Structure 1
Amino acid sequence: MNAVGVIVEYNPFHNGHAFHLHVAKEQANADIVIAAMSGNFLQRGEPALVSKWKRTEMALKAGADIVFELPYIFATQQADSFASGAVSILEAAGCNSLCFGSESGNIDSFYQTIGFLKNNNELFQQKVKYHIAQGNSYPRATALAFHDLTPNEDMLDLSKPNNILGYQYILSVQKQQASINVFTVSRKNADYHDAYFSSETIASATSIRKALFSENGDIFSVRQYMPETSYNSLLEYKEEYGHFHDWEQYFPLLKFRLVQTTPAQLKNIYEVEEGLENRLISTALESYTFKQFMEKLKTKRYTWTRLQRACVHILTNTTKNEMDRKVEKASYLRLLGMTTKGRVYLNKHKSQLSLPLISKLSLQQNEQIMLDIRASRIYALGTRKNQQRLLEMEFKQPPLILN
């Protein structure tokens, strides 16, 4: 069976994602779609709107056939580590190809840019260091350095988030010598960071979340931008747990962690660098909401995303030693769900999988899994209703099966 892989967060699953799955399967001439999906905390340093189980359900009902969890150690990292972990999962699962959405939509521009930067790497790195020294964040410094090299018009725009991720996906495939063919499709109508609706049927996940958390947050207002099955899943989740997840529910827990931790202890937390520990503690003491906290904390040097990721690691008490950036590959395949076709694929290819397939957790498993367990437990603490049920699902919930 021919499998195409996708790397996703589905926060939440919308019509643009459904389009991506359809095109990926069609262009790859694939029998099934395998998704490597972030768990309960995401790459931008945010809790997922709904749990990984509900997002798995959304994906399976809308076109995915197998969903594996991208471990916390990769899911909450910057683009290169995020990509590396996800590619290793798709390779281990036997994917023949990888399809990603991008602002470019032209795979040739990715390979041209990779070749250009490899040929000009020394000068590029010098310019990155220069722009960081000027007080720019790392993503901003890399975009400026790339612009300084005056690449031609066939090159990528590396200031766009999905272009950046796609660039890292291809680098990871090359570095891991994965036997995966890579192709891209253009994002449809809505940009990744669009905060407002600009189409009748296609909207970014960002704009959907903004609508749900607005003062008049009405779930019905997002219905036209999602498959009916995904919309119904949102309704079910809010009914069961009382609300959707965002940082405001976790801010009291984060604030508690900060005010009872010494600067020396905080320095051991991953992504807390260069005196940020003192600023984090003092800002927490004078903030009443997460939004207020972030607005006070934000500087030119640190992106909002970078600071949010640091906050996730503080919340989960994740140390620098636990998040070793030398780790480039996942050590297991955590199965979250599958369709009947996905089950046939796994039964047929089980002996060929290059990583252990895990469908049920135990506390005796490895360090990467222990991070996943800890993150899921803390995620559950943000619920108003049925908290115990969400806490227990990490061990008791078998992979979802959609017939």
Structure 2
Amino acid sequence: MSRENGHRPLAILMAADVDPVPPTSGAERVLHEYSARLAARGHRTIVICRREDRLKPESEAIGGVQVHRYDVNSNGTLTFLRSAIQGGSDLCRQIVASEHINVINLHQPLAAEGVFRVREARNIPRIYTFLSPWSEEYHIRHPASAGIPAALHHWANVTARRLIERRCLHACERVQVLSDYSYQHLAQIHRVPRSKVSIIPGGVDTVRFAPVEDRIAPRRKLGIPPDALLLLTVRNLEPRMGVDALLDAMPTVCQARPEVHLVIGGSGPLTTHLQQRAAALKIDEHVTFAGFIPEADLASYYAAADLFVLPTRGLEGFGLVTVEAMACGTPVLGTPVGGTQEILRGFDESFLFSGTSAEDLAEGILQHLPRIRGNQELRARCRAYVEENYSWDVIIPRIEALFYAAARGNAAPTHARNKAECNQA
């Protein structure tokens, strides 16, 4: 607790484009854990975010965190952008007028832009938590259509997002990233100097994500034989996630190991396409599309799997699913993309695929299957590695120290603090 460490509690305002309740994505998870755990350590924690679900209240207190939401107008891109920025600005102005805020933590560009327009907030230290480049996310999720007008529209959207995000990053006193990979993106795209960047990884709730005694129950629920070699991936079903390459690898894997079964958790624009692809590859009997897996069930799915497979092609800024699966005792095979490399190299570099192609995935899976079945020592190592390096109990004190340093106006760089990172230095 902050009082026990001799520090006064801080009043922290967090502004985000996502809602911390319920946390269903990586960005929401980070916001939720930061706000809730800092509140549990005695800090006054306030979150402002958009109210995209009109069934949610405008204001509510959840676990010591005060959440305030504002409405946006989604009738057209420009209208949406203006209303999102203005709504965040108005709400921020109300809060800083009534609260003495020590530090502002910004999580996404539109929320940050709204805060920057509040004159009364300009002297409050600001820390930007950077997860991935906004412009690249848009480019990957919304590729340009054929034709000059469509190409120009796409270019304008990408450029506007890049410029807005760059302004936000350079206007903050500190920028926090979750991996060295994310910092490289930050430097390349936005030219943010290393001197203002703190690299503090994401974390995992090791109480909630933990090994379970009954690893068979989720298999029964899905109708999967208890003796199957169970592979699991949990992804948004969109192109950059690489699930299509994983499906393409499965005929080779199943031919060599007929007892293998793959469960794909998640939903997205490629759901129907991927289901059709599995049928065309004649691997229906070896693949289950579980759809969106509720937060309450996620840990049991991780723990039930013999191996978690992360086939990402790009923009894996950290990889929360990697540490969540390992916290449950399940080893992870991941592509050499983004923050996944940093996590797995600190554990065992052999758990990195040689590439992102279907052939690379099939080769890696078949190479590792003999060593994972019933390997309790390996599962215990996975758990211990995450507890030591990525538990929120390890990470949040580092976030707290960063906020204290910013509030003092003396934010020193923070890097290579966990043992896995130190070993790589």
Same fold (TM over 0.5): no
Q: Which structure features the higher share of strand residues? A: 2
Q: Which has the larger radius of gyration?
A: 2
Query: Normalized against structure 1, the TM-score is what?
Result: 0.29
Query: Normalized against structure 2, the TM-score is what?
Result: 0.27
